[in-house]
């Protein structure tokens, strides 16, 4: 496996990166050990940035912003276009690195890098469309318009589970908007961050734009706390747990900065009595097991109409039995390892709670034995994809919590109203889905009065995960309210200026106020 990493780093031209060591694998202060979650063994050691390194990176990001904002937006777009092209060239190697480092299946690892390529394409088009409005002035011979201006250096904090794409959503948009980026990745995925950032930096530097894409790898206490309190970052875009988001949001609010928060989800999928069950089944399997249940969009709660519940559960259990768990780089494996030993403990304690609350384990429910893995004998953090059916009372308090693991809680409902109400009865509001062949039920779910799904993402006949980049991504309530990626999310990375011009030669006050002088 170490040679796998060496060969990927070689392909990406990263063999000489002074931050990474493949030989010295003993723990030490100032370093983080990168564990391969598939084997449980250390595969690299990465140097951590200290307070001085943070200070250098932050002032460099700020200085780069002052230069970069003067580059016309369409020219910035050309730099992003070249970055997208370079990422295309390295897509498969980077995708392999993602899979190796965080354990998601290879198609998902590659798919994640494709997501960054896609957002780069989107951002290139956007670089000629950072439109403001013109408004009619209430005063004669006055003009009013708004313009969108670069905002500053953007602090981007990312989680381990999308170590490439979530940075891409932020960085590609920020770059065309005229902002520089300082990235603080998860310490569970520093290798992907180094590789991704180096590729982008190389392209930008070659085109004469040094410093637009910065990276600091460090402990939260050393690097993260400094960044969120630092006024040089007018926007902090943070992805992670609700707990983390509350802290970041509080600190940034204290200095009256802006936050873009993309936090946890507790996503539900409703299967109506008239649903296409084949379609629903596949979507549930991918939504609940993809990325080993470690997406913020993972399907965690399943609401089945009572008339199809037993049949659907049986089919689901059969489908789960055919899912391969094992090396995410091996062909046909859908479920790789959890990211760490701590995540396995979290899985076990959630399953124990579910059982003690009367839940019935229909599938999985425990660690996966080495002998049942593909290939057998792996020593990593594997669990069995798990289905827990709630007791008849429908009470299963653990299902209110987001456990980053492949656990699906199953409930039944009688009416669509009840299903929507139950789906919405969660602290988070990220993603939601309904399977139905009825236009009426689908539209009820999307009710424009707001009485349908209360989530930021609402799918009809699609699972809860796997958003395209073209729409705005994010959610409500404890998910944090931020929107990233497509639609007009770019506005978060710019500041709006309302411009009023008087060309009348006379002072005309608004609201008809007369000034007698």
Q: Which is nearer to ligand UN1, 176 or 296 (CB)?
A: 296
Contacts of residue 392, defined as CB under 8 A and 6 or more positions apart, other chains included, come to none
Q: Which is nearer to ligand UN1, 258 or 295 (CB)?
A: 295
Which part of the chain contacts ligand UN1 (CB under 6 A), choosing from 14-22, 25-33, 294-302, 421-429? 294-302
Report whether 402 contacts 426 (CB < 8 A).
no
Binding ligand UN1 (rule: CB under 6 A), the pick from 466, 487, 491, 502 is: 466
Q: How far apart are CA 279 and CA 295, in angstroms?
A: 21
Q: Which is nearer to ligand UN1, 79 or 236 (CB)?
A: 236
Residue 339 within binding range of ligand UN1, rule CB under 6 A: no
Residue 358 within binding range of ligand UN1, rule CB under 6 A: no
Q: Which is nearer to ligand UN1, 161 or 489 (CB)?
A: 161
Q: Which is nearer to ligand UN1, 38 or 431 (CB)?
A: 431
Neighbours of 348 (CB within 10 A): 16
Q: C-beta of 254: minimal distance to ligand UN1 in Å?
A: 26
Binding ligand UN1 (rule: CB under 6 A), the pick from 5, 43, 71, 166 is: 166
Residue 297 within binding range of ligand UN1, rule CB under 6 A: yes
Binding ligand UN1 (rule: CB under 6 A), the pick from 296, 373, 407, 494 is: 296
Q: How far apart are CA 440 and CA 516, in angstroms?
A: 63
Burial track 96-117 (b if 16+ CB lie within 10 A, e otherwise)? bbbbbbbbbbbbbbbbbbbbbb
Residue 344 within binding range of ligand UN1, rule CB under 6 A: no
Report whether 495 contacts 284 (CB < 8 A).
no
Binding mask 83-122 vs ligand UN1 (x if CB under 6 A, - otherwise)? --------------------------------x-------
Angle, nearest 10°, between helix axes 91-102 and 190-206? 160
450 three-class SS = coil
Structure tokens at 314: 């049986």
323 three-class SS = coil
Residue 267 within binding range of ligand UN1, rule CB under 6 A: no
Which part of the chain contacts ligand UN1 (CB under 6 A), choosing from 71-79, 130-138, 462-470, 500-508? 462-470
Which of these, 9, 207, 216, lies nearest to 93 by C-alpha position? 9
Q: What is the DSSP letter of 177?
A: T
CA angle 337, 341, 345 (to 5 degrees): 100
Residue whose entry in the numeric block shows the structure tokens 């991918």:
286
Which part of the chain contacts ligand UN1 (CB under 6 A), choosing from 28-36, 302-310, 416-424, 463-471? 463-471
Residue 312 within binding range of ligand UN1, rule CB under 6 A: no
Residue 269 within binding range of ligand UN1, rule CB under 6 A: no
Structure tokens at 252: 């940034």
Binding ligand UN1 (rule: CB under 6 A), the pick from 309, 407, 467, 494 is: 467
- The dihedrals phi and psi of 268, each to the nearest 5 degrees, come to -115, 150
Q: Which is nearer to ligand UN1, 80 or 159 (CB)?
A: 159
Separation of CA 298 from chain center: 11
Residue 275 within binding range of ligand UN1, rule CB under 6 A: no
Query: Helices (H) and strands (E) in the chain — how many of each?
Result: 14, 24
State the DSSP string of 1-18: -HHHHHHHHHHTT-TT-T
Report whether 266 contacts 288 (CB < 8 A).
no
Residue 40 within binding range of ligand UN1, rule CB under 6 A: no
Residue 436 within binding range of ligand UN1, rule CB under 6 A: no
Which of these, 270, 288, 266, lies nearest to 461 by C-alpha position? 270
Q: Which is nearer to ligand UN1, 441 or 465 (CB)?
A: 465
User: How many CA atoms are closer than 13 Å to the CA of 53, on its beta-carbon side?
Assistant: 16
Q: C-beta of 60: minimal distance to ligand UN1 in Å?
A: 28
Residue 268 within binding range of ligand UN1, rule CB under 6 A: no
Report whether 445 contacts 417 (CB < 8 A).
no
Q: C-beta of 52: minimal distance to ligand UN1 in Å?
A: 31
Neighbours of 125 (CB within 10 A): 11
Residue 292 within binding range of ligand UN1, rule CB under 6 A: no
Question: Which residue(s) pair with 493 in the sheet?
Answer: none
Which part of the chain contacts ligand UN1 (CB under 6 A), choosing from 138-146, 290-298, 399-407, 435-443? 290-298
# residues near ligand UN1 by CB under 6 A: 11
Q: C-beta of 161: minimal distance to ligand UN1 in Å?
A: 5
375 prior amide bond cis, ω within 30: yes
Please give the positions annotated as active site.
Answer: 262, 296
Residue 479 within binding range of ligand UN1, rule CB under 6 A: no
Q: Which is nearer to ligand UN1, 112 or 230 (CB)?
A: 112
Binding mask 218-257 vs ligand UN1 (x if CB under 6 A, - otherwise)? ---------------------x------------------
Structure tokens at 290: 């993809």
Residue 471 within binding range of ligand UN1, rule CB under 6 A: no
Which part of the chain contacts ligand UN1 (CB under 6 A), choosing from 241-249, 289-297, 339-347, 475-483? 289-297
Binding mask 125-164 vs ligand UN1 (x if CB under 6 A, - otherwise)? ------------------------------------xx--
338 three-class SS = coil
Residues that bind ligand UN1 (CB under 6 A): 115, 161-162, 166, 239, 295-297, 465-467
């Amino acid at each position: 496996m170490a040679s796998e990493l060496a060969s990927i780093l070689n392909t990406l031209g990263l063999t000489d990166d002074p931050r990474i060591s493949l030989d010295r694998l003993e723990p030490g202060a100032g370093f983080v050990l990168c564990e391969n979650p598939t084997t449980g063994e250390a595969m690299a050691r990465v140097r951590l940035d200290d307070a001085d390194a943070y200070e250098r990176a932050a002032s460099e990001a700020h200085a780069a912003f002052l230069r970069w904002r003067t580059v016309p937006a369409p020219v910035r777009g050309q730099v992003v276009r070249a970055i997208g092209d370079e990422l295309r060239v390295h897509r498969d190697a980077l995708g392999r690195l993602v899979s190796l480092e965080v354990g998601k299946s290879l198609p998902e690892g590659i798919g994640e890098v494709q997501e960054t390529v896609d957002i780069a394409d989107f951002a290139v088009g956007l670089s000629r469309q950072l439109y403001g409005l013109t408004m009619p002035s209430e005063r004669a011979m006055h003009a009013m318009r708004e313009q969108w201006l670069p905002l500053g250096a953007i602090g981007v904090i990312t989680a381990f589970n999308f170590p490439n794409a979530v940075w891409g959503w932020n960085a590609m948009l920020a770059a065309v908007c005229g902002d520089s980026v300082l990235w603080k990745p998860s310490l569970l995925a520093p290798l992907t961050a180094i590789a991704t950032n180096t590729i982008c930096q190389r392209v930008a530097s070659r085109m004469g734009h040094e410093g637009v894409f910065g990276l600091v790898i460090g402990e939260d206490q050393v690097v993260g706390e400094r960044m969120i309190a630092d006024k040089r970052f007018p926007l902090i875009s943070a992805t992670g747990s609700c707990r983390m988001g509350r802290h970041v949001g509080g600190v940034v609010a204290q200095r009256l900065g802006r936050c873009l928060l993309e936090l946890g989800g507790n996503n539900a999928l409703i299967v109506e009595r008239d649903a296409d069950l084949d379609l629903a089944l596949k979507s549930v399997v991918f939504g609940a097991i993809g990325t080993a249940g470690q997406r913020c969009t993972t399907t965690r709660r399943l609401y089945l109409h009572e008339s199809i519940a037993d049949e659907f559960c049986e089919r689901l259990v059969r489908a789960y039995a055919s899912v391969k768990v094992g090396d995410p780089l091996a062909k046909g494996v859908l479920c790789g390892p959890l990211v760490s030993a701590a995540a396995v403990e979290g899985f076990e304690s959630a399953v124990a709670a579910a059982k003690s609350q009367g839940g019935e384990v229909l599938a999985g429910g425990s660690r996966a034995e080495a002998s049942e893995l593909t290939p057998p004998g792996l020593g990593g953090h594997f669990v069995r994809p798990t289905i827990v059916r709630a007791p008849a009372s429908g009470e299963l308090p653990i299902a209110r919590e987001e456990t980053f693991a492949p656990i699906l809680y199953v409930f039944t409902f009688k009416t669509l109203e009840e299903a929507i109400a139950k789906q919405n009865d969660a602290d988070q509001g990220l993603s939601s889905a309904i399977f139905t062949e009825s236009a009426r039920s689908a539209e009820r779910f999307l009710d424009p009065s707001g009485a349908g799904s209360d989530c930021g993402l609402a799918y009809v006949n699609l699972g809860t995960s796997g958003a395209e980049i073209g729409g705005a991504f994010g959610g409500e309530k404890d998910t944090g309210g931020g929107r990233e990626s497509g639609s007009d999310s770019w506005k978060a990375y710019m500041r709006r200026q309302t411009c009023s011009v008087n060309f009348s030669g006379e002072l005309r006050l608004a609201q008809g106020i007369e000034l007698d002088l």
